[in-house]
Structure 1
Amino acid sequence: TGTWTYTIERFPGNPQPHYVQVMATPRSKVAPVVRARSWTSQGVTPLILYTEVKRGDYPVLGARIEVLVNKPAMNGTNLYRDKFELLDTGSGDPDLTKGDGIYSRYFTPMRGGPGLYTFEIMVTDNGNTAYAWHETILVQSLEAGPPCCGSLVPTPAVQPLSPFQRVLPPISITFTPDDVASQPFVGRIGDLRAEILASELKARLTWTAPDMGGLPVSRYELRFAHSVTDIVDRFETASEVWDYGSPFPLPPGSETVFTMDLTRNPSLLDIPLFVSIRGFADSANNSPGGPISNWSMDFGLELILPILGGIALLMILIVVCYLCMLRRRNGNAVKKQSGKDKHVGNGKQLSSPNASITILLHEHERRHSPYGQTGEDLISNGSHAQLPPPVPPLPAFNHQHSGGYPSGPIYGVHPGTFVNGGYHRNGSMVPFNPSLQGSLSSVSSGDRKKRNVTMV
């Protein structure tokens, strides 16, 4: 593959013209090669030139298709000569679909007048930038539905192509004076899109510069309305012209961008807008305009900002709720861990060293108190109440000794009998014997009952 050069040296004195035809065939019948073909529309008002470029069964994208137009005179000279490129933009007029490998363009004889025109078409790789679909893609993927203005064929995996050049057979067409006088109603924009810039209170419009019947666009007219019916059916009467700037005209096929600054007219910020545009081939004010483009909806920014604020507030609330759940979960985990860290002392479960000291002091006071257990001896431990161990019985009361208790050992007496409001001893005092003291026990704290074993 590549560019081949063939040189012919003519002998002096031989005025005969020489014609050379080169035929090439692929190495294999199934090997994919780059092929190109061209044709024209049926009518010449307006005339549309088409060229299809494929590599095997797949379209070639990014190729350059140059058309050289000549209008020869009777003496062999060229009365009119022009050059332009075919486009695969999918703008809708005349190219319907972008990425299908079919390049097209309008031609008008208004500049050259009536006569015979010859179109020479050359296809190149556009400086080694052309590419095609990968060979592993199935042919059925080409079925992208019926073509429509402004549509796009999705491009799968692609592969670059080697340099190539194809020169197609010339096409000759004759234009009459009536064909030259007719003014075709062409140049519709089919890919108008709107993008909202909420932070800047602006709307950005993008589209492809139209082909005005073989002529570039000279100026644009941008209009807006508050309903679809007004922008489509009553474009001239019900819609309003945007007076705050005008798009800059570019050559056909160029991407055009225009920004609508809605702060120039604050009354438009709180209502939805429907925008449409059309081009003019002549810059004169009374010149006829082209077809109306597709409409694009531009939501009022005052409606968009509250919606965005509500969404942001909802997200903040969700984050706050999530953080609260995490905090509560961590708190429960800390409580469970602290419950596990409680230590046990003297047969009782203690939650802290201070609690153990309190219990020991209470036990000391209880054992040295002559009044035994009272209602205050209940020790709270979590959700259960526990009673401390019982104390030995009280000593016998002797009303003869100043109405008080004896000063001797309290464990060396027997309990007396309660008669007429006082205690009476039932015998003489017996010396204290530690082995005969017995033991004391208590039942579980659930029923809160005490049981004493009488000393022998």
Structure 2
Amino acid sequence: MTLTVTSRAVREDVLPVFVTAQMNQLSSDGSKPLVVTAEVTQGSSSVIGANVTATLESDTGHSVQLYLLDNGAAANKDKDDGIYSRYFTQLRDGRYSLKVRVTDHIDTRLSLSRHSGALYVPGYIVDGKVELNPPKPPVNVEPANVGSFSRIATGESFEVKVASGVTPNFPPNRIRDLSAEFQENAVLLKWTAPGEIYDEGTATSYEIRWSESLEVIQNFTNANRLNTSELQPQEAGSAEHQHFLLDIKIENGTTLFFALLAENNNTAKSEVSNIARVTSFIPTPRPPAISNPGLNLTTIVVSVCAVTMGACLIAFVTTCVMKRRRVGEEV
């Protein structure tokens, strides 16, 4: 069961903000982390950019505070959908209560659309020619007045009972937002940094691989490995942007696949990330367009007429001269 806080708006012209808080499960043996989730809505719209903090407190006095995120990484499924979440990894025996506090922020606004999850494809190749798709439509975010608010929601209690002799060795969280794009002869990879333990702390290293074959990259260890010896992971939740030069020639239609994983100090590795696909699209040059076809046609017609009239004039003059010569000879 999930408990929801119901509240009234301070102003009649502003709809009230609702908050729903819950855990992904109500019991745990300590083998896997739990996930805290809070959904924030105003009317039929999602509230994004809010400050969302969860407090989990056990009957033994163990208390943990987590800042929930809506960034589309780690425990959070989709970015800017009004659903905030975070992993709870500090598992100790006890029965826990869940309390979520939500307040407005300078960036708080409404999102009127849900993410479809469909992958945007920039273009495709037909008979060796590149056909580009229209630009990717922007996310429908309306800077509507959410109003100043502060809400507290309470979720149902849950219990943690760690199995005897079990010492959790949680790895970094799986990276789910890896993307790739060509920049001249290099490739730019972007992703959200995982933590030392799921989405907390800082991972120790990355292992990044690539292939020209989807089947090969799915096996991961069989794919080509990039040199990441000088790459230092950033703190969990940070945006990673890394350029890599590849030992292949990038041509029109070249398609590559990338994936990576993170490792922590205990040599625990995350699951392999999502597979990022990138294709080099070099638009086929088009012949220069005629700026004013009507004007060009008129010019051609006038030119032809002028040449014709000139030829007729020359023929007329020549005929007259010949006739005069004949008349003069007869006389």
TM-score (norm. length: structure 1): 0.54
Distance 2:291 2:265 in 1: 62
Note if 1:194 corresponds to 2:172. no
Where do residues 374-393 of structure 1 align in structure 2 (5 Å cutoff)? 380-381=315-316, 385-386=319-320, 388=323, 391=327
Distance 2:118 2:182 in 1: 28
Where do residues 272-291 of structure 1 align in structure 2 (5 Å cutoff)? 272-280=255-263, 282-284=264-266, 287-291=267-271
Where do residues 387-426 of structure 1 align in structure 2 (5 Å cutoff)? 388=323, 391=327
Note if 1:294 corresponds to 2:241. no
Structure 2 contact 59–95 (Cα < 8 Å) conserved: yes
Note if 1:67 corresponds to 2:48. no
Point out the structure with the larger strand share. Answer: 2
Structure 2 contact 53–66 (Cα < 8 Å) conserved: yes
Distance 2:156 2:275 in 1: 37
Among residues 106, 111, 120, which one is paired with 2:99 in the alignment?
A: 120
Structure 2 contact 8–16 (Cα < 8 Å) conserved: no
Shift of 1:32: 1.9
Among residues 72, 90, 107, which one is paired with 1:129 in the alignment?
A: 107
1:104 maps to 85
Among residues 224, 227, 234, which one is paired with 1:240 in the alignment?
A: 224
Which amino acid in structure 2 is aligned with residue 221 of structure 1?
E
Q: Could you tell me which runs of 5 or more consecutive residues in structure 2 were left unpaired when the two chains were aligned.
A: 120-136
Which amino acid in structure 2 is aligned with residue 381 of structure 1?
F
Residue 153 and residue 94 in structure 1: after superposition, are their counterparts in 2 closer, same or farther (change >3 A)? farther
Distance 1:223 1:34 in 2: 44
Residue 105 and residue 147 in structure 1: after superposition, are their counterparts in 2 closer, same or farther (change >3 A)? farther
Shift of 1:196: 0.3
1:18 maps to none
2:149 maps to 164
Which amino acid in structure 1 is aligned with residue 88 of structure 2?
F
After superposition, the C-alpha distances for 1:16-35 in whole angstroms (9 at most, x for unaligned) are xxxxxx99545899962111
Distance 2:329 2:84 in 1: 117
Structure 1 counterpart SS, 2:75: coil
Structure 1 contact 272–297 (Cα < 8 Å) conserved: yes
After superposition, the C-alpha distances for 1:390-413 in whole angstroms (9 at most, x for unaligned) are 638957xxxxxxxxxxxxxxxxxx
Shift of 1:242: 1.1
Residue identity over aligned pairs, in percent, reads 21
2:167 maps to 181
Which amino acid in structure 2 is aligned with residue 173 of structure 1?
F
Shift of 1:206: 0.9
Structure 2 counterpart SS, 1:100: coil
Distance 1:295 1:197 in 2: 19
Residue 393 and residue 173 in structure 1: after superposition, are their counterparts in 2 closer, same or farther (change >3 A)? closer
Distance 1:153 1:88 in 2: 18
Structure 2 contact 172–198 (Cα < 8 Å) conserved: yes
Structure 2 counterpart SS, 1:391: helix
Greater C-alpha Rg = 1
Distance 1:167 1:298 in 2: 44
Where do residues 307-346 of structure 1 align in structure 2 (5 Å cutoff)? 311=284, 314-315=285-286, 318-319=287-288, 330=299, 333-334=302-303, 336=305
Structure 1 contact 33–56 (Cα < 8 Å) conserved: yes
Distance 1:331 1:268 in 2: 47
Shift of 1:99: 2.6
After superposition, the C-alpha distances for 1:330-355 in whole angstroms (9 at most, x for unaligned) are 46535645877x8xxxxxx995xxxx
Shift of 1:177: 2.5
After superposition, the C-alpha distances for 1:343-379 in whole angstroms (9 at most, x for unaligned) are xxxxxx995xxxxxxxxxxxxxxxxxxxxxxxxxxx8
Point out the structure with the larger helix share. Answer: 1
Note if 1:33 corresponds to 2:50. no
Shift of 1:321: 8.6
Note if 1:257 corresponds to 2:241. yes
Larger relative contact order (Cα-Cα within 8 Å, sequence gap ≥ 6): 2
Aligned residue pairs total 299
Structure 2 counterpart SS, 1:177: coil
TM-score (norm. length: structure 2): 0.71
After superposition, the C-alpha distances for 1:179-223 in whole angstroms (9 at most, x for unaligned) are 96345677222221111011xx21101122346535344132111
Residue 145 and residue 217 in structure 1: after superposition, are their counterparts in 2 closer, same or farther (change >3 A)? same
Shift of 1:290: 1.0
Which amino acid in structure 2 is aligned with residue 50 of structure 1?
T
Residue 202 and residue 97 in structure 1: after superposition, are their counterparts in 2 closer, same or farther (change >3 A)? same
Note if 1:205 corresponds to 2:205. no
